[in-house]
Chain A
Amino acid sequence: MSVLVEQVTCSRHGQVILRNVSLEMKTGEVMGLLGPNGAGKTTLIRLMAGLARPDAGHIRVFGEDAARRSVKFRRLIGLVPQENTFESELTIEQSMLCTAKLYGIVDARTRVEEVCRQFQIGSWRKKYPEKLSGGMKRRAMIARAMLPSPDVLLLDEPSVGLDPDMRQDIWQAVRNLKAAGKTVLLTTHYMEEAEELCDRIAFLRAGQVLYTGTTTGIRQQISPEQEISLEDAFLALALEGRRIG
């Protein structure tokens, strides 16, 4: 088991955001975290990355407690947040070089070259982030997260707001990560994306996990008699909020 989320509860300003959330991820698995806005997906991702601490429960990545943020833990995990986190004063290449140095990569320049080739980041790596499209930035952010080659990658809505071409690029990048044996957790609002990329999904609503399993499984459990789309299953869960599976 590469990621273990055990009975995690998290609140902020007196409001419970996550309530007894438990999840397991196998090594090399791509899991989709689905749920309506405000379900707690981004909070869970931040807790898993060690950027915040839960009120109760534990998150372990290969046995390392996320709340403790050990050096080993930080080398295991990579995060691509929703928002652009490239420094506006640095070019993409400079930013990647800085990240490589922060991770103590000995030949930082060579590693940056290698990752840029792998993620097809061309000459635009010399540009400042403000000059790039959303898709380019997103792809570069995934590439930057992969510089230290983490075993677990957390992607918070990796393809939101992208045109179909760019979305395909991001999907291919995720497939490549899976092929390389990486464990990937991604949040998404696109059912098509979940079906295309994820081995399993977890459905979160109002801070609780209502379902964990395959996309086929969720459809069958919501509607055993009649074949329905994942979107219909999503809507049924989002509106009713009943726990299944």
Chain B
Amino acid sequence: MMAGVQAVFYREMLMLIRRIGGLGYLFSGLLFPMIYLLAFGWGLGDSVAVAGGYIAYLAKGMLAVTVMMNAFQQTALSVSAARFYYRTFAVLRLSPIHDGAIVLGIALAGTVRALLAAAVVFVAAKLFFGIAIVTGPGLLGLVLTAFAFAAFGVAVGLSIKGQEQFSIVINFFITPMTFFCGSFFPITNLPSVVQQIVRFLPLSLTNQLLQATSLVGEAGIAAFALVFFMMVIYLYSTYRVHNYSEF
């Protein structure tokens, strides 16, 4: 299985290198978090009371959002385009590799892509606000989130029947998570009923890990939950690949 994963990953990386050469590719994915980081950072600055300072808090939140959006969006778009326009997904399906290896290879490439984007946000946060923002648990959270959302991107990319369905997923899943999962403000500011729902969503777990300094206690549980979420999504995506029909 690992030879298959390597082959898919190699192919995805070659394509990424070619795409990344175009300025628009990298920066279009970064625009959203950068605008929020700069607008909220400069606009609200220290006027929002959060332990450790609002800008540092927001910078961590934007890292989580960047990773989620890049991993999900770029992977889902790439997989759906490979089905509808380029017909290249069939090349993977025809090859004698395990369906799980296809998901793993694509999701690992999506992870690399998302972490590259996060690195740019990290550098921008350092440059503009002079803050160091990633702890060990935070880095673990980013990697797990990137993989989980890239794998989710594979499942969505294989499920949607057209590009318009893609915006439904963005509007109903990704955008609410962006704003309610503790990236812009602590979820404790939300009504308690909403908090109970939101705290178990993957992006809330990522933000929890980004704010933590060790994996002891709640951060450990958050990491475990994120691993569980990642495994479920991976298995679901593998199931989607297995049952995919090329018509």
Which A residues are closer than 8 A to B by beta carbons?
12, 43, 46, 49-53, 69, 71, 74-75, 77-79, 81, 83-90, 94, 98-99, 101-104, 148
* Interface residue tally on B, bucketed by range: 20 to 34
Cβ–Cβ contact A102 & B11, under 8 A: yes
**Interface majority SS (helix, strand, loop, mixed), chain B:** helix
28 contacting pairs across A/B (C-beta < 8 A): A43-B247, A49-B94, A51-B90, A51-B93, A52-B245, A52-B246, A74-B94, A74-B96, A78-B94, A85-B88, A89-B15, A90-B14, A90-B18, A94-B14, A98-B7, A98-B10, A98-B11, A99-B91, A101-B7, A101-B10, A101-B11, A102-B11, A102-B92, A102-B95, A102-B96, A104-B3, A104-B4, A104-B7
What separation, in Å, do the CA atoms of A101 and B247 have in the docked complex?
A: 26
Across the interface, which residues of B come within 8 angstroms of A77, CB to CB? 94
Cβ–Cβ contact A81 & B11, under 8 A: no
Query: How far does the Cβ of A177 sit from chain B's closest Cβ, in whole Å?
Result: 17
Cβ–Cβ contact B96 & A103, under 8 A: yes
What separation, in Å, do the CA atoms of A75 and B18 have in the docked complex?
A: 29
Cβ–Cβ contact B90 & A101, under 8 A: no
Which B residues are closer than 8 A to A by beta carbons?
3-4, 6-8, 10-11, 14-15, 18-19, 86-88, 90-97, 245-247
Cβ–Cβ contact A79 & B14, under 8 A: no
Among A78, A81, A94, the residue within 8 A (CB) of B90 is: A81
New contact pairs (11) apart from A52-B247, A69-B93, CB-CB < 8 Å: A43-B247, A51-B246, A77-B94, A81-B90, A85-B91, A86-B88, A87-B86, A88-B86, A102-B4, A102-B96, A104-B7
Across the interface, which residues of A come within 8 angstroms of B247, CB to CB? 12, 43, 46, 52
What separation, in Å, do the CA atoms of A32 and B247 have in the docked complex?
A: 22
**Interface majority SS (helix, strand, loop, mixed), chain A:** loop
What separation, in Å, do the CA atoms of A120 and B88 have in the docked complex?
A: 24
What are the nearest 4 A-B pairs in CB distance? A51-B246, A102-B95, A89-B18, A101-B7
Cβ–Cβ contact B88 & A74, under 8 A: no
Query: How far does the Cβ of B131 sit from chain A's closest Cβ, in whole Å?
Result: 36
Cβ–Cβ contact A98 & B94, under 8 A: no
Among B4, B19, B90, B245, the residue within 8 A (CB) of A89 is: B19
Please, which residue of chain B has its CB at the minimum distance from the CB of A46?
Answer: B246
Across the interface, which residues of B come within 8 angstroms of A74, CB to CB? 94-96
Cβ–Cβ contact B15 & A102, under 8 A: no
Across the interface, which residues of B come within 8 angstroms of A84, CB to CB? 87
Query: How far does the Cβ of A153 sit from chain B's closest Cβ, in whole Å?
Result: 12
Known A-B contacts A89-B19, A98-B10, A102-B11; the reply to A53 vs B86 at CB < 8 A is no
Across the interface, which residues of A come within 8 angstroms of B96, CB to CB? 71, 74-75, 102-104, 148
Question: Which of A83, A98, A99, A104 has the most CB atoms of chain B within a 10 A radius of its CB?
Answer: A98
Across the interface, which residues of B come within 8 angstroms of A90, CB to CB? 11, 14-15, 18
What separation, in Å, do the CA atoms of A88 and B18 have in the docked complex?
A: 10
Across the interface, which residues of B come within 8 angstroms of A53, CB to CB? 245
Across the interface, which residues of B come within 8 angstroms of A46, CB to CB? 246-247
What separation, in Å, do the CA atoms of A74 and B10 have in the docked complex?
A: 21
What separation, in Å, do the CA atoms of A90 and B18 have in the docked complex?
A: 8
Please, which residue of chain A has its CB at the minimum distance from the CB of B19?
Answer: A89
Among B7, B10, B245, the residue within 8 A (CB) of A51 is: B245
Cβ–Cβ contact B14 & A98, under 8 A: yes
What separation, in Å, do the CA atoms of A131 and B94 have in the docked complex?
A: 26
What separation, in Å, do the CA atoms of A101 and B88 have in the docked complex?
A: 16
Query: How far does the Cβ of A76 sit from chain B's closest Cβ, in whole Å?
Result: 9
What separation, in Å, do the CA atoms of A237 and B236 have in the docked complex?
A: 47
Cβ–Cβ contact A99 & B95, under 8 A: yes
What separation, in Å, do the CA atoms of A59 and B8 have in the docked complex?
A: 28
